[in-house]
Chains A and B, each alone.
Chain A
């Protein structure tokens, strides 16, 4: 055995390696990323067909529909966050690694947000046009989605960690996450509606930002603890 001190790679090395690995996996299995995105696009385009083409009605329901679809599609993608790691034993490897588990969890969640939240934000302007949203409102909507999906990924990771050992935990995961995710959706959709009626909408944006920061600082610890319990 070598006498010198073992060199454990730094925390940020672990964080970015984790993100990189999950992005690489997403790249090799694009279906996992595209499915929720298709779901989002489908709900958003089917709705106007069912409700009818009245401009007034579409303008009124647009923000709500987009946000509900975004929330549901994020829930759809969360289910698989830890599942494959649990099944192939990678989770055990992460649990016995010298890297702090919350940091690794944060790396995974970051990758999840980059592959679920960010694509949502990118395609949302296209769908918002269907609802006759003016460009200024589209900007506000993208900002709310950007902030909201950060919190959704982080909060969702807690639920995903708690249900990872259960078979068919999807329904339970949704039930666990919805109460925490509801305020995000209400704040987001409300801010977009206010912007559409030329009202003051910044309060909602600040609240979403605060929500994102709170989840960023607390969720990784909760998720790490939940993973240790689920994997017993």
Chain B
């Protein structure tokens, strides 16, 4: 099943500053949308706007050719979100955190243990999140992504806090996801080398 995420003529004004104007793009299954630009240029804001968390000045975002505000639930059911703040509870254990996630979103049928194994977090299952390092917490957030059965990944600076091995793993995971017909919107200030087709959006 193929999907399409597109946007037409997006303009976003925050305070008195116009972050971007007349921005359009289209992304199909198997593709990566890379948002580029320096710090503070509005990459995160653009991502939040696409996901429906920020209201746009003009323009519309379409999911499978239907405006997202007309099908918020379907659209949100098709995406998973990874950002600076992981959205995991420091007082809960890894299993408790991901267990809560299970009741929010459709879950894929992959074996949970193998996902933990691959991300190198299977030893940490019983620990509370607060006691993990920033990089380990980020790996738990990645596990949430892998366990969700959704086509669209939103990744805001996914390489933050990760070691070299972790960064390579993220690229590998994204490539696999795209190869399976998934799609990904990624904001990154460093260059990302991928085999899959990359569509770049530069924000001034």
Interface residues of A (CB under 8 A from B): 1-3, 6-9, 13-14, 16-17, 20-21, 24-25, 28-29, 84, 87-100, 228, 231-232
Could you tell me if A6 and B77 are in contact, using CB atoms closer than 8 angstroms?
yes
Report the separation of the CA atoms of residues A232 and B107 in the bound assembly, to the nearest whole angstrom: 28
24 contacts between A and B (CB under 8 A): A2-B108, A6-B106, A7-B106, A7-B107, A8-B77, A9-B105, A9-B106, A16-B103, A25-B89, A25-B92, A87-B85, A88-B87, A88-B89, A89-B83, A89-B86, A92-B87, A93-B101, A96-B52, A96-B53, A96-B81, A98-B76, A98-B104, A231-B53, A232-B53
Question: Known contacts A21-B89, A21-B100: does B53 contact A1 (CB below 8 Å)?
Answer: no
Please give, as numbers and ranges, the residues of chain B lying within 8 Å of A92 by CB-CB distance: 53, 81, 83, 85, 87
Residues of B within 8 A of A21 (CB): 89, 92, 96, 100
Q: Are A1 and B76 in contact (CB under 8 A)?
A: no
Residues in B36-68 with C-beta less than 8 Å from chain A: 51-55
On chain A, the residues within 8 Å of B55 by CB distance are 232
Please report the C-alpha to C-alpha distance between residue A232 and residue B87 in the assembled complex, in whole angstroms.
Answer: 16
* Contact assessment for B76 and A28 in the assembled complex, using a CB-CB cutoff below 8 Å: no
CA distance A228 to B149 in the complex (A): 25
Could you tell me if B76 and A97 are in contact, using CB atoms closer than 8 angstroms? Answer: yes
B102 at the interface (CB under 8 A from A): yes
Give me 15 other A-B pairs in contact (C-beta within 8 A), A7-B107, A98-B74, A98-B104 excluded. Answer: A1-B151, A1-B180, A3-B1, A6-B77, A14-B103, A87-B85, A88-B89, A88-B90, A89-B85, A89-B86, A91-B87, A92-B87, A93-B87, A96-B52, A98-B105
With contacts defined as CB atoms under 8 Å apart, how many contacts are there between chain A and chain B in the complex? Answer: 102
Give Cα A67 to B127, complex, Å: 42
A99–B104 touching, CB < 8 Å: yes
Closest chain A CB from B30 CB (angstroms): 10
Chain B positions within 8 Å of A228 at CB level: 53
Residues of A within 8 A of B128 (CB): 28
